[in-house]
């Protein structure tokens, strides 16, 4: 193994490092972008909109009284266009104050200046 020179050994080392860097690059990149995002104050939950769709009314702004889970399945059958609100008693959503959106809990916690 006299043919192996110092530069070749160095090259092997660099090659190994490059290989490691190549393997780790996507992870490092993702890590950096994630940390950059957080350092920039961008929210993962709402995409920095500071508002998310209300989970209670699903962004509609009103909820139907007595509605159970899966009620939306029956909407197409029982709710006629234009008469839907009259047919079913819907009340303004108290969670989002009928806005259909609520303040992002993550953002409101962080309170970006
Ligand atoms: Zn709501
Ligand atoms: Zn947010």
Between the CA of 10 and the centroid of ligand 1 the distance, in Å, is 63
Segment 26-46, tens digit of pLDDT: 666 666 566 665 666 678 788
d(CA 64, CA 83): 14
Helices (H), the chain: 6-39, 72-78, 84-87, 105-110
Q: Where are the domains of the chain?
A: 1-40, 45-113
> Which has more pLDDT, 22 or 62?
62
pLDDT score, position 100 = 95
Q: Which residues pair with 90 in a beta bridge?
A: 64
Q: From 45, 50, 55, 64, select the one nearest 95 (Cα to Cα).
A: 55
Ion ligand 2 neighbours (CB, 5 A) are: 43, 45-46, 104, 106-107
DSSP code per residue over 48-70? T-SEEE-TTTTTSSEEETT--TT
Find the 92 Cα to ligand 1 centroid distance in Å. 8
**CA dist 89 to 50, 58, 71, 82, 83, Å?**
31, 17, 13, 14, 11
Alpha-carbon distance values, 35 to 25, 43, 52, 105, 110 (Å): 15, 11, 22, 20, 15
Q: Record the pTM.
A: 0.43
């Amino acid at each position: 193994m006299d043919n192996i020179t110092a530069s070749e050994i160095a090259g092997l080392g660099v090659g190994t490092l490059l290989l490691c860097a190549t393997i780790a690059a996507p992870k490092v990149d993702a890590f950096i972008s994630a940390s950059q995002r957080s350092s920039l104050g961008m929210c993962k939950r709402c995409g920095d909109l500071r508002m998310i769709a209300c989970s209670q009314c699903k962004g509609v702004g009103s909820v139907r009284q007595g509605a159970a889970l899966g009620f939306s399945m029956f909407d197409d059958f029982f709710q006629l266009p234009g008469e839907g609100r009259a047919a079913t008693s819907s009340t303004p959503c108290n969670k989002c104050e009928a806005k259909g959106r609520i303040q992002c809990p993550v953002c409101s916690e962080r309170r970006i200046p």
